[in-house]
Amino acid sequence: MTEAILSVTHLNKRFKRQPVLQDVTFDCEPGRIIGLVGANGAGKTTIMKSILGLIRTEGAVTIAGQAMQFDRHPALAQVGALIEYPSLYPYLSGWDNLRLFARDQDVAAQIQALVTQFDMSDYIHRKARTYSLGMKQKLGIALAFLNHPQLVILDEPMNGLDPQGTKQLRDFIVAQKQQGVTLLISSHILGELQKLADDLVIIDHGRVIQRTTMAAALALTEHYVVVATEHDGQAKAALTAAGYQLAAGTPVKLLLAPDQSVADVLAVLQQQHITVTDVQHQDADLEQIVLTLLASSKA
């Protein structure tokens, strides 16, 4: 196994005696996108703040082999982050906010590349206090990617972004991953996370209830096929007689077992001379998987 770029071990945190994180432990391998998922108040932001040393938390955090200490974190030189709302200097322009935090030699080139990537040219020289929510969010994201970080931690990065901004961010995240960057991303937009994440850490009431790959999580779902026919009643009867499990409701909706294929279904209908007008797969859905896992962890 590749050495983890981020290791979080036995994190425990209480706010006013209330446990908020309980024995949170997970690793992130380099060059992967890890989705941190959980309900409101589950503890995602608290985990991110603990990793970054923004709050004092029991347990250990190691970044690229270096142990983080609450009052000493040289490892953070390799980390970029956007937690909750971007902290911007309101009376500086977006460009100057970026320049203030840039450390590398290629400051102007780096800033220009980020401005172009996130389509910020029209307003980047205006004072940040005049920015809309989405403009501030884009600037905050650009700040997280300054100085070529190896690990980027993003808390709800799609917040306030329009569809174009969301796509720009998604494309950028994928490109960064291809260059070996590791990303830890929390999001309630599970459809977006499904497109991006390689791994999942699912949090419930401050505990890790599942640490898995996206592929393994999606394989947990049931695969349905919905068939439109000219004679649904006959189609249902024929498929039930052939041993298929049909979902309740009007359309002809079947649960496909791993050894059953759409071609087999169509063959049954063809044999009965039932005309099929459309076939649709119901894709695996991360939202449903997460809800199921959260429900089963409570059971």
Ligand X SMILES: Nc1ncnc2c1ncn2[C@@H]1O[C@H](COP(=O)(O)OP(=O)(O)OP(=O)(O)O)[C@@H](O)[C@H]1O
Q: Can you give the binding site for ligand X, defined by CB under 6 A?
A: 15, 20, 38, 40-46
Residue 45 or 66: the one with the smaller Cβ distance to ligand X is 45
Among residues 20 and 239, whose Cβ is nearest to ligand X?
A: 20
Least distance between ligand X and beta carbon 188 (Å): 6
- Residue closer to ligand X by CB (options 202, 239) is 202
CB of 38 to ligand X, least distance (A): 5
Q: Give the pairing type, strands 66-67 and 58-63.
A: antiparallel
Q: Contact 194/214 with Cβ under 8 angstroms?
A: yes
Q: How far is the CB of 47 from ligand X (least distance, A)?
A: 7
Torsion, CA 232, CA 237, CA 239, CA 243, rounded to 10: 160
Rounded Cα gap, residues 161 and 285, in angstroms: 22
By beta-carbon proximity to ligand X, the closer residue of 270 and 297 is 297
Q: Give CA 34 to chain center in angstroms.
A: 7
Residue 159 beta carbon to ligand X: minimum distance, rounded to whole angstroms: 10
Cβ proximity of 233 and 239 under 8 Å: no
Nearest to 179 by CA among 30, 60, 17: 30
